[in-house]
């Protein structure tokens, strides 16, 4: 019964905080100047939503993927003396082969080419 009271109190408190924050966060000023993008005091010359290069986005995603994979390789160094050498080598080489195959596939598909 105590657990139910705690859960109810927590949900009620969270709901009250969310309702109060949504009430306080309402913008009541409907001014055209305040809603327009600010560009050094001048009216903007172009659209605020300019498209960006899809190649740049793809390179950024590939960088993030390989960056995360490198952080997965880092724990191999401290466990060198804690595991058998054969198991450590098989795991490390298998992971590196997967990385190199992924890099070769991206290179082969032309995803690493910045300009045509």
Q: What is the dihedral of CA 78, 83, 87, 89, to 10 degrees?
A: 30
List pLDDT tens digits, range 76-109. 888 888 989 999 999 989 988 988 898 899 889 8
Note the pLDDT of residue 23: 83
89: in domain: yes
76: in domain: yes
Distance linking the first and last C-alpha atoms of the chain:
68
Number of domains in the chain: 1
Note the pLDDT of residue 37: 64
Note the pLDDT of residue 116: 61
33: in domain: no
8 A C-beta contact, residue 61 and residue 102: no
10: in domain: no
User: In this structure, what token pair is assigned to residue 81?
Assistant: 């003396």
86: in domain: yes
Who contacts 112 (Cβ-Cβ below 8 Å, separation ≥6)?
59, 62, 106
9: in domain: no
7: in domain: no
Note the pLDDT of residue 8: 94
12: in domain: no
User: In this structure, what token pair is assigned to residue 28?
Assistant: 């009541």
List pLDDT tens digits, range 18-52. 999 888 876 666 666 666 666 666 655 666 566 77
User: Which structural domain, as residue segments, surrounds residue 99?
Assistant: 54-109
């Amino acid at each position: 019964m105590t657990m139910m009271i705690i859960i109810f109190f927590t949900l009620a408190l969270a709901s009250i905080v969310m309702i109060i924050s949504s009430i306080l966060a309402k913008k009541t000023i409907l001014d055209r100047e305040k809603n327009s993008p600010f560009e050094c005091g001048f009216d903007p010359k172009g659209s605020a939503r300019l498209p960006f290069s899809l190649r740049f986005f793809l390179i950024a995603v590939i960088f993030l993927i390989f960056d995360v994979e490198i952080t997965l390789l880092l724990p191999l160094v401290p466990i060198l003396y804690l595991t058998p050498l054969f198991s450590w080598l098989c795991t490390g080489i298998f992971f590196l082969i997967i990385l190199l195959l992924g890099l070769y596939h991206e290179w082969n598909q032309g995803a690493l080419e910045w300009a045509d």
